[in-house]
Amino acid sequence: MPNLQELENSMPVAPLKLVALPSAERMARRINDYLVEFRKSIHNDKVKNDPAFQGYIESNYLTYVSTPRFGTGEAKAQFRESVRGKDLFILVDVCNHSITYNMNGYTNHMSPDDHYQDLKRVIAACNGKAHRINVIMPFLYEGRQHKRNGRESLDCAFALRELRDMGISNFITFDAHDPRVQNSIPLSGFDNFTPPYQFIKALLNSEQDLIVDKEHLLVISPDEGALDRAIYFATVLGVNTGMFYKRRDYSTIVNGKNPIVAHEFLGENVDGKDIVIIDDMISSGGSMIDTAKQLKAMNARRVFICCTFGLFTEGLKAFDAAYEQGYFDKVVTTDLTYLPPELYSRPYFIEADMSKFIASVVDFMNHDASMTNIMATTDKIHYVLDAYNNRRDVELDVE
């Protein structure tokens, strides 16, 4: 764990509690396990004897909250224990569609709107008693509706302002579609983390014959929106980058947007090279599959898809077919949002575990300690690359 000495020499803001909404219980349990492990390794006598550190080393930091619903579909939130004076970290996955509830005899799957309302209920259930409230929302609610074009709602900015007004001190998210949406709450804490280190670590653990240099590897952005991610990733790896841009039919609107006519490539020759496509999310996956297909048609050696959020909104059938036809070789995605259980049986799937990283974020934030070492991933990537190139174990504890 980075800069452990800084934590040992600082006091926590308040006793730590991790609040898991039903949508994020699996992730919360893994984060809790790491937090327990971290704090058991602290070597500081004050932790054991100073009353200010009461509750610092625990066997469990989770406090569960229930969100039962009435037959009409209305709901409430209820804590099972007191949260008075605690530093709360509320974890919610707004994309977990596997959670269901009954309404008027029907079974409904929870939408992002439902999860967001439950989050507000949980905040309201604190009754102003918590010392501080922090929200961890890996997939930013309405993050794709971050700017207004014409007669549109500005949902993401409105949601952030609403949470701020409810008393949220810090908001933690990952790979926001456009992090500039934080301008709607300029005086509140907003941390946006990205997982390039976890991507390369997962990929190197899976593939034993990657050659990371300009002659053998190329990083591709599937559209202009992901270009900054691709440039950073390529620069740290010391390779070149390219991009596709989406040519749209602006005379037609389908499902609220202009349909894509074609993906046009801008970049150097990909012949015989391994390709890493990096983006923030896989939604239906149509654009990503088309991009991979074109790269293979240009004689790319292997195509690896790296996306922070694997939503797979139209199922896995299209990816199964594309894999069988050789359009791509691996899909690397994080566990920050709900992943369908059947995905784990697919030969092309690689999971990038983010739970240890989030546990580090929570631990440092609970101490109001500097996040510099956590946010700076360049040195970590260089370290794991060096280990890989020298064929040492790349399962290194540099979270």
| Spatial CB neighbours of 116, under 8 Å, sequence gap ≥ 6 | 92, 94, 141, 159
| Whether pLDDT at 124 is above 80 | yes
Tell me the average pLDDT across 327-348: 94
Tell me the average pLDDT across 243-265: 72
pLDDT band at 397 (very low <50, low <70, confident <90, very high): very low
- Report yes or no: 97 and 111 within 8 Å, Cβ to Cβ: yes
Partners of residue 79 on adjacent β-strands:
65
- Using the CB atoms, write b or e for 336-371: b if 16+ within 10 Å: bbbbeeebeeeebbbbbbbbbbbbbbbbbbbbebeb
Average pLDDT, the chain: 87
Compute how many other C-beta atoms are within 10 angstroms of the C-beta atom of residue 314. Answer: 12
Tell me the average pLDDT across 91-97: 95
| Whether pLDDT at 302 is above 90 | yes
Q: Which amino acid is at 37?
A: E
Give CA–CA dist 364/134, Å, rounded: 13
> In this predicted structure, what is the pLDDT of residue 49?
64
- Per the listing, tokens 């260089």 go with 382
Tell me the average pLDDT across 37-48: 72
Dig out the tokens for 182 from the structure.
Answer: 């934080």
pLDDT band at 312 (very low <50, low <70, confident <90, very high): very high
| Whether pLDDT at 2 is above 60 | no
CA distances from 397 to 1, 43, 111, 207 (A): 7, 18, 36, 19
Give CA–CA dist 273/215, Å, rounded: 7
The SS3 assignment for 19 reads: strand
Dig out the tokens for 183 from the structure.
Answer: 């301008």
pLDDT band at 3 (very low <50, low <70, confident <90, very high): low
- Report yes or no: 31 and 358 within 8 Å, Cβ to Cβ: yes
Tell me the average pLDDT across 233-247: 86
> In this predicted structure, what is the pLDDT of residue 343?
94
Burial, 399: exposed, middle or buried (Cβ in 10 Å; 0-12, 13-18, 19+)?
buried
Query: At residue 305, what are phi and psi to the nearest 5 degrees?
Result: -100, 125
Give CA–CA dist 183/228, Å, rounded: 19
> In this predicted structure, what is the pLDDT of residue 306?
93
Give CA–CA dist 306/269, Å, rounded: 21
Least confident of 1-15, 165-179, 285-299: 1-15
| Whether pLDDT at 398 is above 60 | no
Least confident of 12-16, 75-79, 259-263, 295-299: 259-263
| Whether pLDDT at 396 is above 50 | no
pLDDT band at 80 (very low <50, low <70, confident <90, very high): confident
Q: End-to-end CA distance of the chain, in Å?
A: 6
Model pLDDT for residues 194-235, shown as the tens digit of each residue: 999 999 999 998 888 888 889 999 999 888 777 888 898 899
